[in-house]
């Protein structure tokens, strides 16, 4: 026997090899269609046409799949992570609620899968704690020529081509142009209050800083262009006008996707909707762990395991996010964030104040939030092309509210 290998080292080392993600589907003897997520799918032979996948010998799902007459390997596309998570965890692999049609041998072909391969069982060999299942290919097709879903170090991602030319991100360019329309207002606010002010835009599930006015006395930890993954409770300001499906996706990004966790984050989001702003009541010492995790994440090329650390450190801040504000108490704030009321065809934007002085009374927080709301409302009006809104570069009124300034 070979020398004993540390299981953790085995998993860690083999986890550095990326895989695609496929769902093996079948209609077993019991007649209940089933799906099992596998990362071990591989092409084996062209003549005869063979493929393989490796289910654990302990797998209850495979015990049912092997009773079917045939099976189908459905290769998932990069936008099918939610389906993958659902199938990999709950419901013993039931395909209830999943859209599929039967292949020629009756196996479920999942709608939206990138490609599918329908097979009969050629051989099932035992190999340690797994089986090697060889499938003889009968029918196959590329259904959607799109990017596949990838799995690496316990996290999901997608392929990005190596290239000498950086791919321009159209959303980012548009967002930077949008932010320009309120540059002078953001700069004025930063100078007047001696705090840092930045414009953030939601690009997919990142919050990207596209404008920075750093007149605050405390140094800003993250530079212009900094991207931070949106993980509950953070990012709530981007979700105030989102659909329930988007909110659901946000909730799934939390490390604790339990009903209690969901209720907590939903309550935080409701509070941001009610207040029209969010605060993170954490001083520098409390933020340190999350910022260190973020830095490691950036430096490591955003590797999944560092993303997990960011997720944990971010959700650990949950009770500091929009806590009850008690008059008479003083608060150390990391940030105040106000959503910009943009049209639905534009990416969600927010304006953020950071480098705030310590020990702020509630009235001070509310009054600064109000100042931010005015700039955000002006920005929203400017972005909607309203005539009344300030043209790029116009300053907010110092003496009172202009119509359209307090729409949030
Ligand atoms: C990305 C990913 C890849 C997986 N790959 C395999 C695999 O190759 N073999 C396997 O037995 N289980 C794999 N699993 C686990 C199964 O999908 C499933 O969770 C497991 O079969 C559940 O246990 P059960 O079959 O006893 O119900 C994978 C899970 C994920 C999320």
Residue extents of the structural domains in the chain: 16-158, 170-383
**Structure tokens that stand for 221 in this block:** 């930890």
Q: pLDDT value at position 221?
A: 67
**Structure tokens that stand for 65 in this block:** 């799949």
| 132 Cβ below 6 A of ligand 1 | no
Cα–ligand 1 centroid distance for 351 (angstroms): 42
Residue whose CA is at the smallest distance from ligand 1 atom 9: 55
Closest ligand 1 atom to 62 CA: 25
> What is the band of 237 on the pLDDT scale with cuts at 50, 70, 90?
very high
324-345 burial: b if 16+ Cβ within 10 Å, else e:
eeeeeeebbbbbbbbbbbbeee
Q: Where are the beta strands (DSSP E) in 100-226?
A: 100-102, 108-110, 115-127, 130-142, 149-152, 155-158, 196-203, 206-214
Let me know: does 137 contact 115? Beta carbons within 8 Å.
no
Q: How far is CA 121 from CA 43, 70, 72, 198, 404, in A?
A: 14, 7, 10, 58, 67
Task: Check if 16-158 and 170-383 are the same fold.
Answer: no
Give the Cβ contact number of residue 3 at 10 Å. 4
Let me know: does 147 contact 17? Beta carbons within 8 Å.
no
On the CB side of 368, CA atoms within 13 Å amount to 27
Q: CA nearest 209: which of 382, 78, 335, 373?
A: 335
| 395 Cβ below 6 A of ligand 1 | no
Mean pLDDT within 68-88 = 95
Q: pLDDT value at position 383?
A: 78
Mean pLDDT within 355-376 = 95
H helices of 208-302, in order, are 244-252, 259-275, 284-299
**Which CATH class for the 16-158 domain?**
mainly beta
Q: Identify the DSSP state of 309.
A: H
| Cross-strand pairs, 278 | 337
Alpha-carbon gap, residue 147 to 99, rounded angstroms: 20
> What is the band of 305 on the pLDDT scale with cuts at 50, 70, 90?
confident
Q: pLDDT value at position 2?
A: 64
Cα–ligand 1 centroid distance for 178 (angstroms): 44
| 36 Cβ below 6 A of ligand 1 | yes
The whole-angstrom distance between residue 407's C-alpha and the CA centroid of its chain comes to 29
Residue for token pair 């690496």: 152
Closest ligand 1 atom to 56 CA: 11
| 15 Cβ below 6 A of ligand 1 | no
3-state SS class at 29: coil
Alpha-carbon gap, residue 116 to 132, rounded angstroms: 19
- With 0-12 / 13-18 / 19 or more C-beta atoms within 10 angstroms meaning exposed / middle / buried, residue 364 is middle
Q: Identify the DSSP state of 56.
A: B
Alpha-carbon gap, residue 271 to 275, rounded angstroms: 6
Q: Identify the DSSP state of 240.
A: T
The whole-angstrom distance between residue 320's C-alpha and the CA centroid of its chain comes to 21
Cα–ligand 1 centroid distance for 93 (angstroms): 10
Cα–ligand 1 centroid distance for 396 (angstroms): 57
Dihedral, CA atoms, 17, 23, 29, 33, nearest 10 degrees? 150
Out of 146-160, 187-201, 233-247, least confident range = 146-160
CATH fit for domain 170-383, picks 3.30.450.40, 3.40.190.10, 3.40.50.11140, 3.30.70.100: 3.30.450.40
Mean pLDDT within 215-230 = 80
Alpha-carbon gap, residue 99 to 104, rounded angstroms: 17
Q: pLDDT value at position 3?
A: 79
Residue 52 has pLDDT above 90, yes or no: yes
> What is the band of 217 on the pLDDT scale with cuts at 50, 70, 90?
confident
């Amino acid at each position: 026997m070979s020398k004993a290998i540390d299981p953790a080292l085995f998993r860690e080392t083999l986890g550095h090899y990326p895989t695609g993600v496929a769902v093996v589907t079948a209609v077993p003897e019991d007649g209940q269609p089933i799906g099992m997520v596998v990362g071990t799918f591989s092409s084996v032979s062209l003549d005869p046409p063979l493929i393989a996948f490796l289910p654990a010998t302990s797998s209850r799902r495979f015990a049912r799949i092997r009773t079917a007459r045939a099976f189908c390997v459905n290769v998932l596309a990069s936008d099918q992570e939610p389906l993958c998570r659902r199938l990999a965890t709950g419901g013993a692999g039931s395909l209830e609620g999943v859209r599929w049609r039967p292949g020629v041998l009756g196996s479920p072909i999942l709608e939206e899968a990138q490609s599918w391969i329908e097979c009969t069982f050629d051989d099932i060999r035992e190999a340690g704690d797994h089986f090697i299942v060889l499938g003889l290919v009968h029918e196959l097709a590329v259904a959607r020529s799109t990017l596949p879903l990838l799995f690496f170090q316990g996290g999901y991602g997608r392929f990005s081509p190596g290239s000498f030319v950086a791919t321009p991100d159209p959303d980012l360019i548009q967002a930077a142009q949008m932010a320009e329309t309120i540059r002078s207002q953001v700069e004025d606010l930063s100078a007047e209050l001696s705090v840092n002010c930045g414009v953030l835009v939601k690009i997919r599930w990142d919050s990207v800083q596209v404008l920075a006015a750093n007149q605050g006395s405390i140094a800003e930890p993250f530079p212009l262009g900094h991207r931070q993954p949106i993980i509950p409770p953070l990012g709530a300001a981007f979700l105030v006008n989102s659909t329930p499906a988007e909110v659901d996706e946000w909730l799934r990004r939390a490390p604790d996707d339990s009903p209690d966790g969901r209720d907590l984050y939903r309550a935080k989001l409701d509070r941001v909707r009610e207040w029209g702003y969010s605060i993170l009541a954490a001083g520098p010492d409390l933020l340190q762990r999350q910022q260190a995790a973020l830095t490691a994440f950036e430096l490591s090329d955003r590797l999944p395991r560092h993303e997990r650390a960011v997720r944990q450190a971010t959700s650990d801040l949950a009770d500091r996010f929009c806590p009850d504000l008690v008059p008479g108490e003083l608060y150390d704030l990391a940030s105040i964030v106000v959503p910009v009321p943009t049209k639905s065809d534009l990416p969600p934007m927010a304006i953020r104040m950071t480098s705030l002085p310590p020990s702020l009374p509630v009235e001070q927080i509310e009054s600064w939030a109000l100042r931010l709301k005015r700039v955000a409302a002006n920005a929203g009006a400017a972005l909607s092309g309203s005539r009344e809104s300030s043209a790029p570069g116009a300053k907010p009124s110092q003496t009172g509210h202009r119509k359209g300034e307090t729409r949030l």
